[in-house]
Amino acid sequence: MVERRTHPTDGLTTLPDACATLCAEMGRPPEGVAMAVAGVVVDGQVRMTNAARSISRDDLARACGLGPAKVLLLNDFEAAAWSLATLDAEKVTYLQGGPDPQPGARVIIGPGTGLGVGSLVWQGARPTAVPGEGGHLRLTPIAPRKWPISKP
């Protein structure tokens, strides 16, 4: 069963507060939580790129009445990349070559706070999503002759 709820994004309500409210409305904790957030996830924490906020897996777990192992915090385009595993081969546009017996790497690109990029690669028969922050890349010159290239 899928239910939809709306919570304020007025800048006053934190994501853990919204999760705690949702769990209270449900009358029970969820079996698990997966949260996709715009930002780089490091050690179960993320500073959102589109808001002056940080979120941690531990705070979400406490708010939902779960152990941290039941909470998955993902980059938003990493989450989108996981969807690529379900695409049928006939729905894929091949930029080079064609369908192989082993699935090739797949990339998802879209707008976000910059250029959102995620990819899906296979390790044997197992897909793995690779997060990326394509819109936050820079050219870092390593030699004086390259400095003019990097100036805006």
- Please write down the HEC assignment for all residues of 96-108: CCCCCCCCCCEEE
**Cβ neighbours around 72 below 10 Å, total:** 15
47 within a domain of the structure (yes/no): yes
Q: State the pLDDT at residue 123.
A: 86
Q: State the pLDDT at residue 40.
A: 87
Residue 114 · residue 133 · CB < 8 Å = yes
Q: State the pLDDT at residue 113.
A: 67
Domain that holds residue 62: 15-77
Task: Kindly give the parts of the chain with pLDDT less than 70.
Answer: 1, 9, 98-102, 112-113, 133, 135-141, 146-152
85 within a domain of the structure (yes/no): no
- Domains in the chain: how many in total? 1
3 within a domain of the structure (yes/no): no
Q: State the pLDDT at residue 149.
A: 60
41 within a domain of the structure (yes/no): yes
Q: State the pLDDT at residue 129.
A: 92
Block residue for tokens 């394509």: 134
90 within a domain of the structure (yes/no): no
54 within a domain of the structure (yes/no): yes
Q: State the pLDDT at residue 107.
A: 85
71 within a domain of the structure (yes/no): yes
Q: State the pLDDT at residue 100.
A: 67
Q: How far apart are CA 152 and CA 132, in angstroms?
A: 23
Q: State the pLDDT at residue 151.
A: 52
